[in-house]
Structure 1
Amino acid sequence: MNTKNKPLFSEFSPVSKEQWMERVTVDLKGADFDRKLVWKNLTGIKIQPCYTIEDKITQLKNTGENSQTLVNYRTIAVTSVANGNKLALVAVQEGVNGLIFQLKETVPVAELLKGINLNEIAVSFKLKKNAVAFTKTLVAFAKEAKLKGFIDTGLISNYVTTGVFDDNEIDVIAELIKLVTYFPDFKVITISGTEYLDSGANQVQEIAYTLSSLVFLIEKLKEKGIAVQSIFDHLNVELAIGLEYFVEIGKFRAFNNLLAEVAAKYDVVDFCNTMTAKTSIWSKSVTDAETNLLRCTTEAMAAILGNVDGVLIDAYDREFKNPSDFSSRIAGNITTILREESYFGKVSNPVDGSYYIEEVSSKIAEKALELFKAIESEGGFYTAFENETIQQQIGEIRLQKLKLISQRRIPMVGINKYPNLMETVDKKLLSKGMTSNPEVLTPRRASLEIEAMRRVTEELVDQTNVRPIVQLASYGNLTMRKARAAFAYDFMGISGFDVHQEESFENANVAATESAKSEAHVVVICSSDEDYDATALEFINTFRKLNKDKVLLLAGAPKNMDELTESGLDGVVNTRADILVTLSSIQEKIQKNFKSLEV
């Protein structure tokens, strides 16, 4: 039989959406379809589990173009002009083609940029002061070059994090626009949305607030006689990249779409802004910090597929120390590998037409436009921030996120799932908790509360020179006891306790007797529901006759919880347990036991 020209999968008949739904309904055995299979994001969008040609998907316009000249940025903290130039040259040698200089004081431009080819390397500057004087010197120095990059005076960033808006900075930006007229690839208006996402906002909020702040700035600059066309042409937008891969791709595409919509309202049709994506602070961890490399990689992938012009990847250890030469180089290598070896920057708009991503993009755009209009109708960005509407809306989403993280429904490797039990962490690196000012935004890690709980353990170890030991005492049904021991091992490991591997016993009585006599400070019973029904009470009674001080837990969700608690069970660990509540309670009991031993 000749199959050379036969269409792929032609031997299979097409399956309609109706047939697919019928089969799924049978497999669900009466369970709710939406609850089981429809994914709900904190932006309020719902994503279906399957798409077919029968689905009608709205394909957004003006979602940007995959950059063929993707800029791989590295931040250079300039402590002295000589050191700044040295670090910049090292970065370029390591394959970085974009430099962001953080300047606290004005430095000689010629010395700072000595040896850097401005026709090939994008140079950007975060300026605390003297932006006009610095830019005049820069423009004079680069008059023969094709200067590209941006200037960030931190106008919006400073406002949302301090609550103080400096009107004089509008005059500064207006002057900067005039200075760089002959450098179309160099942007001097940077609008940042990173503070929103890093303070706990969702993607819809980040887009809406960023666009609203842009409109606020446009109106301010119009008062200074700056043409709207010029504002859009000199615009650089910086957005953070969050954890949700496909949603983040959709976010950048949706932002480009809505930016074009906003421009059209000002009768601006063709403009040449840039968009820079930065890996988020929110998603990073201090514990098992190398995992940040994986987060940075997926974040960079999402941003590139979302059609950004440049990517700034923070070093994986930036959250707890000054980045090392190694960590800085690894961060730069991520974008280089994605661009050169994975061809992320060489394929034109690879996600266009994907039903899943198109729907995510269109739904995010729809929700963000709705929120944007609501802000504008209530007086705009400045009014919304001054009356704390923006802060309150972000605060609500942040609390939802933190609750889901504490319940492990948002998994974060090394933080609330799969902790590295071989790792020791200096308590000084761990957060003491979060006390934020509700009047402003405070960029933060999502893990701060869990870090604070872990810090309690490390302080206890310092005080007593003893790391609490957890014993997993299992018996009964082999499959279930193994599964629950593995779950408990993962759950308890988040605390920083010394969690020992599962110990299997012949029966409940032996398990209770031996674990009560062991050196462990915490014992977790691991078995099946059937075994619990038959022997859990016996286990607890036997255990408590021998030891009244140890913390005794059970892995699972027993039906007779009240009876077991009355007999001496301290709590349970299961998929519904809140790690902060559960582990903090265990820490308190251990601390009391340690103090009683001291007396």
Structure 2
Amino acid sequence: MNDKNTSLFSEFAPVSTEQWMERVTADLKGADFDKKLVWKNLNGIAIQPCYNAENKITQLKNTGENSQTLVNYRTVTVCCSETGNELAKKAIEEGINGIIFQIISDVKVAELLKDIDLKTITVSFELYTNAVAFTKDLVNFAKNKDLKGYINTRVLSHYVTTGLFDEKQIELAAELIKLTADFPNFKALTISGTEFLDSGANQVQEIAYTLNALVFITEKLKAKGVAVQDVFNNLNFLFAIGLEYFVEIGKFRAFNSLLVEIAAKYGIADFSNTITAKTSIWSKSITDAETNLLRCTTEAMSAILGNVDGVLIDPYDKEFKSASDFSSRIAGNIITILREESYFGKVANPVDGSYYIEEVSFKIAEKALELFKAIEAEGGFYKAFENESIQQQIAEIRLQKLKLISQRRTPMVGINKYPNLMETVDAKLLSEGDVTNPKVLTPRRASLEIEAMRRVTEELVAETNVRPIVQLASYGNLTMRKARAAFAYDFLGVSGFDVHQEESFENAITAANESAKSDSHVVVICSSDDDYDATALDFIKAFRTLNTDKVLLLAGAPKHMDELTEAGLDGVVNMRTDVLVALSAIQRKVQKTLKS
């Protein structure tokens, strides 16, 4: 090994896929390889757990370039020019290099952009009224300056969330494209795909429907006399970023590749567009809201590695109050740290060549192209949306996602797992339940149903001035009772009840007698399967002799469930228990007891 030319680990023979599979099959001890190790997500793709030189990976072309001038956006709501200017300059002082002005009233551009260096700062605008007048003012102000950014008139967002398509929006887009013709780095047409993901769609649907919408709008603009080249040179795409880290990286790369294919069909070989990524509404929570910071960080990482041009991170508390100076500053700092200290955006395409990511990107692109063609075959985006087939397809995926969350198979910290039991939440902040209109898209949090269940608890506490107490009564095998008490502690904590630490007892009868007489409203039996076989029935009978009002649960999956239920057991909590169904049933019985 002293030879400098000897390759590292040359004494070790390479491991073939066949050898690896033999070893893994032995380790699985008869378990199904596909079920245990192959990841199947809701995009309908299967990702293998291992790749090596024997695997032939198809690399997508035109997946984009890692932005060396990544834009760190902050949204500024503008009610008047002076206030908007002050907020923008404050953001710039805090390290922000991109401002998205939400213009909700008439403002003067010169006052709004006063002392803002357009060479270093990207300025974008969400325009709700008087877009042409504002853009004329902007163009006059920016003469001989390098104007960078985009305009968003919500041409697609308004349609998919209201079901009303305004033909005047196409005329408006055509006019804005003409007005900004002298500014190649400023995009006059924004097409948003955020509403798809935030309404529960998967990444394949988000890509496909956005491209279908692009074709629809392009055809509309062509009819107004706008050249296709001008359309593609003025495109800014706005996407939400989900929680599936590697899939999101693949999503942006796949979109870039398919966008080039769509452009080629129009005869466009060279064009300039931008992609702006925004942290999603779907993944955010009101309970344990600080966890949103972690979600935003991983979302931003995947977007940057996916080769976007700019990232907008919403403040972690935006879902339940107006963003504070602190939360806005922290949101901006996330990108600053990733860009300056972690070198995201400074290394050219760091994920290129990764077998795993290349495979994910290719499969997402393949599925998205298939769905895109299917929608076009139906008559295109507008017809598919009017027929509600797009809404129905998204609803199917949304229901699957919500089921996985309710079953805790998709863990969400602070929502369905690892709740902050020290936290109290105002019931008014929590959702009353899903308000989805099947005819349109409604961006929403994934946690709405669990929030509604938690709201019931908070309203009960406000009404009775009592927070229901959960007692974990354990006995028997030390290891199993500890494990099941920990599981029950986490599971029931989602309800907002006051879950006490485990109490150990000498035997089942003692545990039954003491817990029946305690101040608790819910009691959970925690022990091993062997102990349940021997004593669970005795525990339940002894408990119900003393108390018939309390909710009595068992942590685990015991045999003879019918017999235990008949004796007075209210239910079980285990890995297969649906958190919404179980906790709602517990709430109903506790409500009845407390209110009586």
Q: TM-score range by the shorter chain?
A: over 0.9
Deviations 1:293-328 (A, max 9, x none): 000000000000000000000000000000000000
Aligned to 1:284: 284
Q: In the TM superposition, what are the counterparts of 1:1-150 in structure 2 within 5 Å?
A: 2=2, 5-150=5-150
Q: Is 1:266 the equivalent of 2:257? A: no
Distance across 2 between alignment mates of 1:196 and 1:436: 13
Count of equivalent residues:
596
Structure 2 residues without counterparts, runs of 5 or longer: none
User: What SS does the aligned partner of 2:523 have?
Assistant: strand
Aligned to 1:468: 468
Structure 1 residues without counterparts, runs of 5 or longer: none
- TM-score when scaled to structure 1? 0.99
Distance across 1 between alignment mates of 2:450 and 2:564: 28
Aligned to 1:349: 349
Aligned to 1:168: 168
Distance across 2 between alignment mates of 1:198 and 1:547: 47
Distance across 2 between alignment mates of 1:370 and 1:439: 24
Deviations 1:200-224 (A, max 9, x none): 0000000000000000000000011
Distance across 2 between alignment mates of 1:421 and 1:44: 36
User: What SS does the aligned partner of 1:348 have?
Assistant: coil
Distance across 1 between alignment mates of 2:452 and 2:27: 43
Q: Residue 430 of structure 2 contacts residue 455 of structure 2 at CA under 8 Å; is this kept in 1?
A: yes
Aligned to 1:187: 187
Cα offset, 1:129, TM superposition = 1.4
What letter is aligned with 2:140? A
Aligned to 1:210: 210
Distance across 2 between alignment mates of 1:239 and 1:183: 23
Aligned to 1:552: 552
Distance across 2 between alignment mates of 1:535 and 1:142: 81
Distance across 1 between alignment mates of 2:278 and 2:428: 27
What letter is aligned with 1:38? V
Aligned to 2:583: 583
Distance across 1 between alignment mates of 2:427 and 2:509: 39
Cα offset, 1:4, TM superposition = 5.0
Distance across 1 between alignment mates of 2:9 and 2:156: 54
Distance across 2 between alignment mates of 1:279 and 1:35: 31
What letter is aligned with 1:131? A
What letter is aligned with 1:377? A
Mean Cα deviation higher: 426-435 or 273-282: 426-435
Deviations 1:449-490 (A, max 9, x none): 000000000000001000000000111111111111000000
Distance across 2 between alignment mates of 1:153 and 1:106: 15
User: What SS does the aligned partner of 1:359 have?
Assistant: helix
Distance across 2 between alignment mates of 1:553 and 1:291: 30
Cα offset, 1:144, TM superposition = 1.9
Distance across 1 between alignment mates of 2:77 and 2:8: 55
What letter is aligned with 1:507? N
What letter is aligned with 2:574? N
Distance across 2 between alignment mates of 1:152 and 1:106: 16
RMSD: 0.8
Q: Residue 80 of structure 2 contacts residue 105 of structure 2 at CA under 8 Å; is this kept in 1?
A: no
User: What SS does the aligned partner of 1:364 have?
Assistant: helix
Aligned to 2:337: 337
What letter is aligned with 1:487? F
Identity, % of aligned positions: 78
What letter is aligned with 2:399? L
Distance across 1 between alignment mates of 2:538 and 2:49: 45
Q: Is 1:386 the equivalent of 2:375? A: no
Q: In the TM superposition, what are the counterparts of 1:511-526 in structure 2 within 5 Å?
A: 511-526=511-526
Distance across 2 between alignment mates of 1:172 and 1:113: 23
Aligned to 2:398: 398
User: What SS does the aligned partner of 1:100 have?
Assistant: strand
Distance across 2 between alignment mates of 1:10 and 1:279: 45
Q: Residue 472 of structure 2 contacts residue 502 of structure 2 at CA under 8 Å; is this kept in 1?
A: yes
Cα offset, 1:5, TM superposition = 4.7
Distance across 1 between alignment mates of 2:12 and 2:114: 64
Aligned to 1:408: 408
Cα offset, 1:10, TM superposition = 2.5
Distance across 2 between alignment mates of 1:426 and 1:441: 28
Cα offset, 1:272, TM superposition = 0.8
Q: Residue 127 of structure 2 contacts residue 153 of structure 2 at CA under 8 Å; is this kept in 1?
A: yes
Cα offset, 1:3, TM superposition = 6.0
Aligned to 2:328: 328
What letter is aligned with 1:200? G
Cα offset, 1:434, TM superposition = 1.4
Distance across 1 between alignment mates of 2:5 and 2:594: 77
Distance across 1 between alignment mates of 2:248 and 2:383: 28
- TM-score when scaled to structure 2? 0.99
Distance across 2 between alignment mates of 1:467 and 1:4: 70
User: What SS does the aligned partner of 1:577 have?
Assistant: coil
Q: Residue 464 of structure 2 contacts residue 595 of structure 2 at CA under 8 Å; is this kept in 1?
A: no
Deviations 1:94-147 (A, max 9, x none): 000000000112200000011100111000000001111111100100112100
